[in-house]
Amino acid sequence: MGLLLFYLFIPLLAIFAFLLTGNSKSLRTISFSAAGIQLILTIIIFILSAGIKTGGERGNLLLNGEVFWSGVLNISFAAGIDSISWTMLMLVSLVTFSVLFTDDKTRHNLKEFYILLFLVIFGANGLFISAGVFSMVVFTGISATSLYILIYSQNRDQHNIWLMVQGLTLAAGFALLVTGLTGLYMNSAPDGNQPTFNLQEVSTYLIPLKAQTVFFPMVFTGFVIVAGLFPFNLFLPRILEPGTFPSTVLYTGLLFNMGAYGALKASIFLMPEAASEMSLIFRVMAGLTVAYYITYFFLNKKRGSAGACIPGALSGMILFAMLLMNRKGIMVSVALMISLGLYASLIPQVKTFTGFRKERSQKLIFILFLILVIGVPLAAILGAPAILDMNENDGISTIVERILMKEVI
């Protein structure tokens, strides 16, 4: 676990260093160093976990451990990784580099920008290494709030009413998450046992169906609303259009994935019966989200609308695939999460590479889109064990087994 804690220390140290300096060159040096160290750490962790697996260890989470927050309430900060979280951590590194490579000249309040950026990264890292629902919510909160403030501060039109609406949806998402969390905690163990937020501990017990039916929609929609995934983010293009590249990359490449990851691990994984029963309703909503973004994209040819519409449609597809509630569905959804992260990270680089010339960049973006949206999920289905599912007890397999658990019971 000690190694995983570096994912929290690195951004925090970077923030501390930002506070001590004011010049833009130092800010960039610190941020690139922090991002580089984080990338190296992710590679080291991959090698270590592969080594552990080769050694024959089978378990849900590797490098796991916990630090108790409160012993009497059995609330702890539990950490551990599986192949999905490792992949997401890799995406965080890529997204960070992508943001850092974009031009600083378009930004104002540079110091605040870097502090907020590393707070977003801190929250994202925290979520992906968390093995407890409570800490997952707290880290999502840190990341989402910092990102919303970053978008607000970097937005050219600060009187944009949609920014306020977006802020309110964040609060609405938290309201649902908080209520859902209380219910999840209270029903997380059989009568007489100490309730817990620990994912592994909760997953050894099937929460009563009545409680699942009430709290699954709250936790699921809570995560997706906080991340602005669906169905309340229909105004997303209006927020991101006047924004800057970093806002778009972080929002679509990171926050979307955080919401989807949280929804998968904290709601579908822990409450599979209710998820299965309600999947149709949510699939319809996800499908409508995809349709909305495609329509918006074709009706609005404004500059920047594609930056929000394509990831928006992808986010709907991620949820749709996830809610199919079978192995292939979950696999495709994780693959699409990777596609989304890569797409969001690469677009600014493609635009910079083509010198912002519309025709050239459009062609490249189209090819990239095809490779990522069709190629990665296809590869995931065809070569899943090699790409995503590194052994039979890891990542997706654990979630799928849990989803199918109700049939066994």
Partner 1 sequence: MNINDLGIIRHEVLLAAVILLTVILSIFSSWNRLARSLPLLLFIIVVAAGVAPGQEGFLFNGNFISSPLVKAMKNILNAAILIIMLQVAGNKRESEKDDNMIRVCLAMFVSLLGLYIMLSSGSLPVFYAGLEISALPFLIIFLISSRERSLRRMTIIRISLYTVASILVISGILLIFKASGSVLFSELIKKNMNTPDNLAGLIIMFTGMTIKAGVTPFLIPDNGFSRRMQISLLSYLTVVLMGGMFFILTILLYSVFPSLHIFWQKSILIISILMITGGNILLFFQKSIRGFLVSSSFLQAGYILAGLIGANRFGMESMIYAVICYVFSALAVTGVISIFYDRTGKERISDFKGIYGVNPRFGLLLGIGLLSLAGIPPLAGFFGRFFLFLAAAEQNFYFLVLVASLNMVFSLYCYSRFAGTLFRGTGDKHEEVITSTPSSIAWMIICLAGILLSGAAGFIFDYLRTISFGVL
* Contact pattern for partner 1 over residues 34 through 73, marking x by CB under 8 A: ----------------------------------xxxxxx
Query: In the bound complex, what is the minimum distance in angstroms from residue 180's beta carbon to partner 1?
Result: 9
Name 65's Cβ contacts closer than 8 Å, sequence gap at least 6: 1, 2, 4, 78, 79, 80
Q: Among residues 11, 80, 132, 141, which is the contact residue for partner 1, using CB under 8 A?
A: 141
Binding residues with partner 1: total (CB under 8 A): 33
Which of helix, strand or coil describes residue 286?
Answer: helix
Helix (H, G, I), strand (E, B) or coil at 77: strand
Of 42 and 166, which has the nearer Cβ to partner 1?
166
In the complex, least distance from residue 22 CB atom to partner 1, rounded to whole angstroms: 12
Q: Which of 178, 278, 364, 379 binds partner 1 (CB under 8 A)?
A: 178
CB of 79 or CB of 181, closer to partner 1: 181
| Burial class, 352, CB count within 10 angstroms (exposed 0-12 / middle 13-18 / buried 19+) | middle
Q: Which residues are within 8 A (CB) of 318 and not within 5 positions of it... i.e. 6 or more apart?
A: 229, 256, 260, 333, 336, 337, 340
By CB under 8 A, residue 366 contacts partner 1: no
Fill in the DSSP letter of residue 66: E
CB of 376 to partner 1, least distance (A): 32
Binding mask 179-208 for partner 1 (x = CB under 8 A): x-xxx-xx----------------------
Shortest Cβ distance from residue 186 to partner 1 (Å)? 5
Which residue in 3, 37, 100, 138 binds partner 1 (CB under 8 A)? 138
Nearer to partner 1, 33 or 169 (CB): 169
**Residue nearer to partner 1 on the CB measure, 226 or 373:** 226
Asked if residues 46 and 83 have their Cβ atoms less than 8 Å apart, the reply is: no
Contact positions with partner 1 (CB under 8 A) in 99-118: none
Site for partner 1 contains 127 (CB under 8 A):
no
Least distance between partner 1 and beta carbon 207 (Å): 14
Q: Which is nearer to partner 1, 75 or 323 (CB)?
A: 75
Q: Give, in degrees to the nearest 5, the angle at Cα 26 between 22 and 30.
A: 115
Q: Tell me the C-alpha distance between 180 and 194, whole Å.
A: 18
Helix residue spans in 263-326 (DSSP H): 272-299, 305-322
The pair of structure tokens assigned to 30 is 């610190």
d(CA 241, CA 397): 39
Residue whose CB is less far from partner 1, 68 or 298: 68
If one counts every other C-beta atom within 10 angstroms of the C-beta of residue 364, the result is 16
Residue 6 contacts by C-beta under 8 Å, 6 or more apart in sequence? 41
Buried-state track 223-239, b at ≥16 Cβ within 10 A, e below 16:
bbbbbbbbbbbebbbbb
Select 132 or 341, whichever has its Cβ closest to partner 1.
132
Least distance to partner 1 from the beta carbon of 179, Å? 5
By the 8 A CB rule, do 140 and 258 touch? yes
Asked if 137 is part of the footprint of partner 1 (rule: CB under 8 A), the reply reads yes
Stretch that binds partner 1, among 2-10, 95-103, 132-140, 305-313 (CB under 8 A): 132-140
Question: What span, in angstroms and rounded, lies between the C-alpha atoms of 329 and 336?
Answer: 10
Interface with partner 1 in residues 142-171 (CB under 8 A) = 142, 145, 152-153, 158, 164, 167-168, 170-171
Letters for 223-262 (x = contact with partner 1 by CB under 8 A, - = none) are ----------------------------------------
Question: Minimal distance in Å, beta carbon 26 to partner 1?
Answer: 18
Instruction: For residues 336 and 345, give the distance between their C-alpha atoms in angstroms, rounded to a whole number.
Output: 14
* Polymer length of the chain: 409
Closest C-alpha among 323, 349, 348 to residue 336: 323
Site for partner 1, rule CB under 8 A = 68-73, 75, 137-139, 141-142, 145, 152-153, 158, 164, 167-168, 170-172, 174-176, 178-179, 181-183, 185-186, 214
